[in-house]
Structure 1
Amino acid sequence: MALSEFEIKKIEKAGAAFLAKHRPPLNIRSKLDLGWRLENQSVYIFEIQPVWNNPEEYQSLDIAKSTFVRSQGVWKLYWMRRDLKWHSYKPESQVTTIEQAFNVVSQDQYGCFWLMT
């Protein structure tokens, strides 16, 4: 079942708050920036940076994913490992709200999402 308009608005609000707190300063956003997107039942957090051999072109690199499982009423959290596959973020692999999901990524207690905290 698709997310409701209310749920989407809640995600948008939480995503905007996350970016307001974590985006780099304006003067370096052309070199490194953050974003998020909603695809079906999943919220992705990603870095945006220029392609190394073509600075006019940008690429997005996913760093975190949270998927809503309606039947369980939880958001499952994942991180992207070097093998470019999603892995459950343990020990906090699920939360009950999207705000908590963004907060877990923000805190990054185990150093999985951010290279430097």
Structure 2
Amino acid sequence: MKKDIIDINESTIRKFVEALRPEDPEIRKKLDFGYSYDGKIIEIYEIRPRWDKPEEIQHIPFVKIRYYKSRNIWQLYWMRGNLKWELYEPFPSSSHLNKILEIIQEDKFGCFYG
């Protein structure tokens, strides 16, 4: 992918995740959101202290989006209870990243935010 396309995607993802984050800094200490993006795979995760060791901060992924350059398509995955990624069948793919993010935000079937 060209650098300018990667930058646009990074900006889009950053804005999406920023909108998920709690405004109150005290709440962010207990629950926050972050992401990783390598130009092909996006993971969105919760950031929170471990329940049994609050001094340890954990990143718990709940969304994976993968870009397939050869098909110009983004595919959406959700984390099952068995900790395996599964294609999100109600709306598994789109050629537009923004559409995938809308599906995540809507979370019609409770797969992303519980």
TM-score, length-normalised on structure 1?
A: 0.89
Greater relative contact order structure (CA < 8 Å, 6+ sep): 1
Instruction: Give the one of 2, 5, 12 matched to 2:3.
Output: 5
Runs of 4+ in 1 over 2 A off after TM superposition: none
- Deviation of 1:99 after TM superposition, in Å, equals 1.8
- Deviation of 1:25 after TM superposition, in Å, equals 2.5
Report if the CA contact (8 A) 2:6-2:39 is conserved.
Answer: no
- Deviation of 1:40 after TM superposition, in Å, equals 5.0
- Deviation of 1:56 after TM superposition, in Å, equals 1.7
- Deviation of 1:21 after TM superposition, in Å, equals 1.7
Amino acid at match of 1:53: D
Match status 1:30 vs 2:29: yes
Partner residue, 1:49: 48
Report if the CA contact (8 A) 1:23-1:33 is conserved.
Answer: yes
Distance in 2 (CA, whole Å) between partners of 1:75 and 1:64 is 13
Q: Cα RMSD over matched residues?
A: 1.3
Deviation by residue 1:2-54 (Cα, 9 ceiling, x = unmatched) = x3211221122111211232112322000000011113511001001001222
Which structure shows the higher strand fraction? 1
Amino acid at match of 2:65: S
Partner residue, 1:81: 80
Distance in 1 (CA, whole Å) between partners of 2:73 and 2:12 is 16
User: Any stretches of 5+ residues in structure 1 without a counterpart?
Assistant: none
The SS at the match of 1:68 is: strand
Residue-pair matches, total: 113
Give aligned-pair identity as a percent. 33
The SS at the match of 1:109 is: coil
